[in-house]
Amino acid sequence: MREKIKRWLVEEEMLVEDIPDSDSHFRFLFMFPGDHYMEIVQPLTKPDMVQVISTTSVSEEHQETMRGSNPGHRAEFIWALRFVMNTFFVDFEMVHPDNILEKFTLTDTIFEDGLSKDKLMSVIRKVWKANLQVIWIIQKEYVGLEPGEGEPDTDSGMYR
């Protein structure tokens, strides 16, 4: 699997680095769609699968704006992100102390018997689209807002 995936990433001009990792058979760092780092990992504990992983850190500027918003609004925002990430059928983790989103990780899995270049590229795109959706939601909610703005619109249940 290692050489096949490496060849496909090279063919698509995506491979950036082969990262040594004592917890995996291999770990490739690549860029998709051109400026976002992602990884493909084959864990030691699961030699029949690979994972496509995208981890995104939220900027300090956005975190600061989140800190300035209402605690109830922050909790609702985290719940909204959970629901959105779940619609993409990817696994996800979020680091969000006090409902201030610091980073999130999206992951999808391909098992060896289903591995093809088409499947790998489709999973990469799916993970990226889920990542992009979360980024857009953060930008819509918190970019350009002053602390305390962006409270829920109680009439519609939507955020302004």
pLDDT in tens, 96-112: 999 999 999 999 999 99
Domain carrying residue 15:
2-142
Residue 138 in domain: yes
CATH number at residue 18: 3.30.1460.10
Burial level of 89, CB count in 10 A (0-12/13-18/19+)?
exposed
Total structural domains in the chain?
1
Inform me whether the pLDDT recorded for 154 exceeds 80.
Answer: no
The dihedrals phi and psi of 141, each to the nearest 5 degrees, come to -80, -40
**What's the whole-number average pLDDT of the chain?**
89
Question: What is the pLDDT, as a whole number, of residue 35?
Answer: 85
Q: pTM score, two decimals?
A: 0.85
pLDDT in tens, 55-73: 999 999 999 999 999 999 9
